[in-house]
Structure 1
Amino acid sequence: MPLKVVIVDDELLARQELQYLVENAGDVQVLALGSNGIEAVDLIHKHKPDLVFLDVQMPGLDGFGVLKKLLEKKARLPQVVFATAYDQYAVRAFEVNAVDYLLKPFDKSRIERTIAKARERVALVEASIAPDSAEAKLDALLRLVEEASQTPKVQRGKIVLRAQNRLMLVDQKEICFVSIEDGAISVVTPAMEGQSNCRTLEELMEQLDPEAFWRAHRSYVVNIQHIREVVPWFKSSYQLRMDDPKKTEIPVSRNQTKRLRELFNL
């Protein structure tokens, strides 16, 4: 019997890529594709898949919210694989007894291993020898959802910059882009340019909102909301023209081109 699968992701390219990789894993039937959390609940309820690939971050209802809705409807829970661009969700994924979590962009060999793990889990459930009972699984999820609802969301604070011999506090949404050269990190806003005390871009990015900031190149981090234009470049590459006063053009590295296309449906 083929493994029955539903895929839900709010990015069209991600859905298509995941469908292609999953179907090529062998003996898998993709029953339906969805683009948001509400669709996910309906599709899972309708098709009763063995396995569902769920994007963690979706407008309206995220991947964890989908599972909560299924619990409220007392629906049969399939095996779950969470997909995300950020690995901070990995721990939460396994706390709800997920089969696996996948980081974007997807990797063919990782997909194949995930499918193999899912088959084992489905076989255990069908044989009624699953390592975790259904009741324990539901209890764990309910506790997680309750804790999440009671825990205030982390508020991303302001960034401290050195400019004109002064320490300035800058709201993150004002930041156009960040660059590093010879170990010095520059932060550019429409009104000013300053230096960060962070030693690496990775250290600075820990303070930035991952929903808004994207590392387009090893030397640049951009605020997606401040991209003015995507400029096609040579050999199928791109540059980003920002909305700072200098209209700075920032290169997109080849391994981030795919992410760029996903962000703007190019």
Structure 2
Amino acid sequence: MLKVIVVDDEPLARKGMLVRLREFPELDVVAECSNGQQAIDSISELAPDLVFLDVEMPGMDGFTVLKQLQEKHIALPYVVFVTAYDHYAFSAFEVNALDYVLKPVEPIRLRQAVEKVLKIYQAQDTQKHKGQLAEAVAKLTGEDTGNILQRLDNAEPVVNDRFPDAISIKDSGEITRVPVTAIEWVDAAGDYMCIHTRDGQTHILRRTMKELEQELDPRQFVRVHRSAIVNVQTIAKLQMLANGEHQLMLTNGQAVKVSRSYKDRVKQVFNQ
């Protein structure tokens, strides 16, 4: 049997997970934790094989739990992330999403995750475990999987500080700090990007869209097109046009085209 710890700050969510896990005779729940510090203490003491870890918790989120475990040189258990947020790469998590379960947890989805954990555990494939964990962290944070794997191999913190509070923009010998919360939307313009802010200004950033996307919190920003990122707080409505295409209307009146490959991700914003 695998020793299991359930970590979630919501009592009802923990209770629901515990009830569902009783259906798996291969799992033995040895502890439940309501916050990140309890999780670190329990994992250190009990050395579980598997942890169902809530991403969003007050005080210390799931990523910080992993980071502190690494800093304390405590071996990481198998991890299944549990979160209500799915703004970033939602479709990708629906395929082979071993380390990611969306709230409210569906029994079929949970069984898929547990069965995959059991398969990997039985194979005792440590490197595959690292790869699965790194892939899940990469999809949630936007960071390169290879960098995460390298930190795992070097016993370094698995998660870096993820999202800056401001973006620094160099122009004509000056550096301007643009608060991330002030960004309404971003569009690509050739080799540059135009960052549009709430005060009506447009800042030119000489970086790639992919690089900027990795610095923006996927819970606050959604990629809607290969050349556009939008702050979800500025989205007023999603429109279907006569030609079958979609566009977003922002609170400032700006229309932003939504490409087909990003349509499902955008629709998830309206389902929260």
Q: Encode CA deviations 1:104-140: one digit per residue, 9 max, x unaligned.
A: 1110011111111111222233x66646489746159
Q: Is contact 2:14-2:32 (8 Å) kept?
A: yes
TM-score normalised by L of structure 2: 0.51
Q: CA deviation at 1:157?
A: 5.9
Which amino acid is the alignment partner of residue 45 of structure 2?
Answer: K
Per the alignment, in what secondary structure is the counterpart of residue 80 of structure 1? Answer: strand
Say which of 162, 174, 177 aligns to 1:148: 162
TM-score normalised by L of structure 1: 0.52
Say which of 237, 256, 269 aligns to 1:198: 237
Which amino acid is the alignment partner of residue 181 of structure 2?
Answer: Q
* Structure with the greater alpha carbon radius of gyration: 1
Q: What CA distance in whole angstroms lies between the structure 1 residues aligned with 2:37 and 2:24?
A: 27
Q: How does 1:1-266 map to 2 (within 5 A)?
A: 2-88=1-87, 99-125=98-124, 130=128, 132=130, 136=150, 138=152, 145-146=159-160, 148=162, 152=166, 154-155=180-181, 198-199=237-238, 203=248
Which amino acid is the alignment partner of residue 58 of structure 2?
Answer: P
Q: Which runs of 5+ in 1 are unaligned?
A: 159-168, 170-195, 208-220, 222-255, 260-266
May I ask how many residue pairs the two structures share in their alignment? Answer: 171
Which amino acid is the alignment partner of residue 199 of structure 1?
Answer: L
Q: What CA distance in whole angstroms lies between the structure 2 residues aligned with 1:110 and 1:206?
A: 36
Q: CA deviation at 1:58?
A: 0.3
Q: Encode CA deviations 1:209-252: one digit per residue, 9 max, x unaligned.
A: xxxxxxxxxxxx8xxxxxxxxxxxxxxxxxxxxxxxxxxxxxxx
Q: What CA distance in whole angstroms lies between the structure 1 residues aligned with 2:16 and 2:130?
A: 31
Q: CA deviation at 1:45?
A: 0.7
Q: What CA distance in whole angstroms lies between the structure 1 residues aligned with 2:80 and 2:68?
A: 17
Instruction: Give the aligned partner of residue 255 of structure 2.
Output: none
Q: Which runs of 5+ in 2 are unaligned?
A: 134-148, 167-178, 185-197, 199-234, 240-246, 253-269
Q: What CA distance in whole angstroms lies between the structure 2 residues aligned with 1:76 and 1:59?
A: 24
Q: Which portions of structure 1, spanning 4 or more consecutive aligned residues, are displaced by more than 6 angstroms?
A: 204-207
Which amino acid is the alignment partner of residue 122 of structure 1?
Answer: Y
Q: CA deviation at 1:36?
A: 0.8
Change (3 A) 1:49 1:204: farther
Q: Is contact 2:53-2:82 (8 Å) kept?
A: yes
